[in-house]
Structure 1
Amino acid sequence: MDKTGFDRTQNRTIVIFIMCCLLTETVSQTDVCVRVPAKTSDCLQSSEYHPVPKDSVTQSCLQELLWDFTTNQNLTADEVDHFKRISRRYLDSPSSSPSGFRQRREYRQLNDLEREKLHRSFQILYDEGTIHRYGKLYGLAYTTVRKSPAFLGFQRVFLLAFEEELRRIDNTVSLPYWDFTIDTEMDNPVNSILWSRKYFGNGNGRVKTGDFRDWRTPKGYIQRRYGESNYGKLMSRDVVKTIVYKCKTKDVTYPVRSESEEIFVLEYHHNGILNWLGGSAADAKTAAYDPVFYMLSACTDFIWEIFRKIQLTECNINPSMDYPTNTKAHKQGAFDKMPGFSQFSNVHGYSNYWSTFWYNYTLAQGCPNCNSKYQWCSTKVDRCISHSRRTDYNVGRNVVSANEAFEPDTEYVPHRVEIPFMPSPLNDGRTMASAKLDARKAVTRRRSSNKQQRNLFVLSALGRSSLISDSLSAND
């Protein structure tokens, strides 16, 4: 494999001039030379036999090349050794985290200083190449653990190892979780305050706002496309309840006996959140290059931890001993080696010592306080809901101005998804395009509801007045 990522044994490659080199006989300082496969070369040369502009053919052939491009993300020998050392160190002393015990909190409940320190730690890991190392590992490991009981255990160890990297930079930082159930309760989660520069940054294409702007993956800049895929939606609290009150791990993991059982599978809904976020996050090869991935995965892990606690207290089942045996797939059994962390078996991810000695979760505060100026308590459903960032339409008291354009100017360059997150729930119809209309409908419903309440109050008051009048008349 050469530096371009093309395999010389499978693709005959030649050096060609892409722009003016192909269209003119002269070469200027702005011309670019690249190595392309024989397929692209043939595509370009075929223009000689068709009455179409050469620049149009060039653009078409290059677009096809980029769309079909497959990234080479194999771990280097040093990277393989790095993760092997991590797993050996963790296995030798499971009852003590290298950086100490920590509590994971909901992302919006961090104060400004805590959030700045977290973002700074992410940035340092990106600058030194650690984010890329973990991004590559996840892309490789996911093909082994997906659609199996190994998924949850691998994700737990993966997040713990990454959290240790964050705490290597700043030992006061812990990995927060993104409680997506707070956003799914909104009129449209696209409207959430999270997608402003203070938090995650924009979600309507290339990330150009916030602290993670202009980060790159092997396929270019980090991109998002929230709510646009036919597949994917955020998980609701009702869905969480259907999962955590199952007793057996085999009931909430793959494989399933029928598609109707997928509604109880945690990985299925996790896939849906990544597909809802879209862009880089919707491809396992690039998902772990976006910081949001780690925080939404932490929430999935939190839900699994709630399930495990209920398993122990209500079902009298030891979660660490409940690795399902109904999987026949290669490398997905309890005692098969965990991908990347080669000193571990898959069942090590199920151990109780992680949440006993390493970390725990702090439940996000509920109504009536919500403990965050970016959430409000809906008395109708008795739940905390994310504030809206919409400033282009009046959505009442539930607006927090982000002091920026609702959807900043950016671009979206679609890429072929190499490893999709499937199966996945379907989109629920609340898209980027419908976000404003959804907000408007919510306001209309709220105003209508408030008007009805006022009318009922007036009628009630008039009724009391009438009874008093009748009583006075009778006494006369």
Structure 2
Amino acid sequence: MVYTRKDVSTLTRSERRRLVNALLELKRRGEYDEFVRMHIEYYTPDGEGGLRAAHMAPSFLPWHRKFLLDLENALRRVDESVTLPYWDWTRNRSRTAVPWTDDLLGGTGRRSDRQVMSGPFAHRNGKWTIRVGVTDTKFLTRELGRPRDPIALPTAKDLEGALNDPVYDAAPWHSGSAKGFRNKVEGWGPGQGSASWRTHNRVHRWVGGHMMGGASVNDPVFWMHHAFVDLLWLRWQRRHRGARYLPAKPLARGDAQRGRVVARHQKMPPWDVTPAQLEDQSHIYRYA
């Protein structure tokens, strides 16, 4: 049966409570931390050798689609009524808007150490200790909007350059690709500093704290953010009927990216699934 992912701002009080309780239960069981470990393991940047499956590569979108499905299935094993909501950061843009409410994700971190002090995922409540990360910090951290060096969330207008590109991805198939929807929505831009952080990447920077890097899954907003990115992929597909994942075939011998990116019919680690198999999600879920 096809289920529905909703805009987080439309969730009822009961739906918010069920979602939070399911996340906390996965954390209690230790299942949630396995998702953090997986994301850290596959957070491979351009500068490192080997296959890039999760980031800075064409498979960014299908890899995260599968990652979200695995988490969603785990949540639904706890409570079958729960589905992943999406955070439309082009509309809910302030530090006090949904999802930054006390009954959902809580708010920003305190100034001294960025520790989240409100909401169900605050460390002081005893149910959300950071056990897997790139630092020894035990509490969830955020710095919404980066008040000491402010940046703004992407706007709907900012997305148009990505959504209007008719090609899924293009050589050189990494963070330097000037053409293609994938890199434009992932958000790697030229230059340095805030101007180079676009779309998906800029949202991670805006949230700050644990959302800055491979351990970003420690913040539950990760899932709501990536559910919206997944929705953007669907919108791009609808705008460009017939467009498909690229590269269609493994890259030619001698190409510097051969063996470093996943072609459309190659399996994406760590799963036995290809990008082609994840291009159509309509038999699993839809977006409200």
> Which position in structure 1 is the counterpart of 2:185?
266
The structural deviation recorded for 1:291 is 0.8
Q: Is the 8 A contact 2:169 2:181 kept in 1?
A: no
More helix by share: 1
Name the residue aligned to 1:237. Answer: 156
Matches of 1:274 and 1:183, distance apart in 2: 15
Q: Which residue of 1 aligns with 2:49?
A: none
Contact 2:8 2:86 in 1 (8 A): yes
Structure 1 residue ranges, 4+ long, deviating more than 4 angstroms after superposition:
229-233, 251-254, 256-264, 321-327
Structure 1 residues 158 and 263: CA distance shift in structure 2, 3 A? closer
**Residue pairs, 1:165-314, within 5 angstroms:** 165-184=74-93, 189-192=94-97, 194-204=99-109, 205-214=114-123, 215-217=128-130, 218=132, 219=136, 220-228=138-146, 233-250=152-169, 254-255=173-174, 265-268=184-187, 269-284=199-214, 286-312=215-241
Q: Is the 8 A contact 1:253 1:266 kept in 2?
A: no
Deviation (angstroms), 1:104: 0.6
- Structure 2 CA distance for partners of 1:260 and 1:252, relative to 1, 3 Å: closer
SS of the aligned residue for 1:249 comes to coil
8 Å contact from structure 1 (residues 288, 294) kept in 2: yes
8 Å CA contact retained: 1:256, 1:262: no
Residues 34-92 of structure 1 deviation map (CA, whole Å, 9 limit, x = unaligned): xxxxxxxxxxxxxxxxxxxxxxxxxxxxxxxxxxxxxxxxxxxxxxxxxxxxxxxxxxx
User: How many angstroms apart in 2 are the aligned matches of 1:337 and 1:137?
Assistant: 17
Residues 126 and 257 of structure 1, relative CA distance in 2, 3 Å threshold:
closer
CA distance in 1, matches of 2:162, 2:122: 35
* Length-normalised TM-score, structure 1: 0.48
Note the C-alpha offset of 1:216: 2.2
Q: How many residues align?
A: 249
Task: Supply the distance in 2 between the matched residues of 1:263 and 1:163 (Cα, whole angstroms).
Answer: 23
Cα distance in 2 for partners of 1:302, 1:252 equals 24
Q: 1:254 & 1:206 partners in 2: Cα distance?
A: 37
Q: 1:157 to 1:278 in 2, by over 3 A?
A: same
CA deviations 1:271-319 (Å, max 9, x no partner) are 11111111111121x211211100011001101110011111xxxx243
Paired with 1:230 and 1:347, the residues of 2 have a C-alpha distance of 41
CA deviation map 1:130-178 (0-9, x unaligned): 1101111111122123111011110001101111111111111110001
Q: Hey, what's the Cα distance between the residues in 1 that align with 2:56 and 2:21?
A: 34
Say whether residues 1:361 and 2:287 are aligned partners.
yes
1:374-402 deviations in whole A, cap 9, x for unaligned?
xxxxxxxxxxxxxxxxxxxxxxxxxxxxx
- The share of aligned pairs that are identical, in percent, is 23
Counterpart residue number, 1:140: 41
Per the alignment, do residues 337 and 264 of structure 1 end up closer, same or farther by CA in structure 2, a change over 3 Å counting? closer
Query: C-alpha deviations, 1:163-216, integer Å up to 9, x for none?
Result: 1111111111110001111133xxxx2343532312220212212211122122
3-state SS, counterpart of residue 103 of structure 1: strand
Once the two structures are superposed, the pairs formed by residues 40-59 of structure 1 within 5 Å of their partners are none
- Which of 262, 273, 277 lines up with 1:333 in the alignment? 262
Aligned counterparts of 2:116 and 2:206: Cα–Cα separation in 1: 16
Q: Give the 5 Å matches for 1:99-114.
A: 100-114=1-15
RMSD: 2.7
Secondary structure of the residue aligned to 2:103 is coil
What is the aligned partner in structure 1 of residue 62 from structure 2? 153
Larger Rg: 1
- Counterpart mapping for 1:319-468 below 5 A: 319=244, 322-323=246-247, 328=257, 330-334=259-263, 335-341=265-271, 343-349=272-278, 351-352=279-280, 355-362=281-288
Query: How much does 1:346 deviate?
Result: 4.1
Amino acid in structure 2 at the alignment position of 1:272: R
Q: Name the CA shift for 1:252/1:356 in 2 (closer, same or farther; >3 Å).
A: farther
What TM-score comes out, normalization by structure 2 length? 0.77
The whole-number CA distance in structure 2 between the counterparts of 1:303 and 1:361 is 11
Name stretches of at least 5 consecutive residues in structure 2 with no aligned partner.
Answer: 45-51, 188-198
CA-to-partner distance for each residue in 1:231-272, whole Å, 9 max, x for gaps? 964221112222222211026995366669899711112111
Q: Secondary structure at the match of 2:4?
A: strand
Give the number of the structure with larger relative contact order, counting CA–CA contacts within 8 Å between residues 6 or more apart: 2
User: CA 1:256–1:138 in structure 2 vs 1: closer, same or farther (change >3 Å)?
Assistant: closer
Q: Counterpart of 2:129 in structure 1: which amino acid? A: R
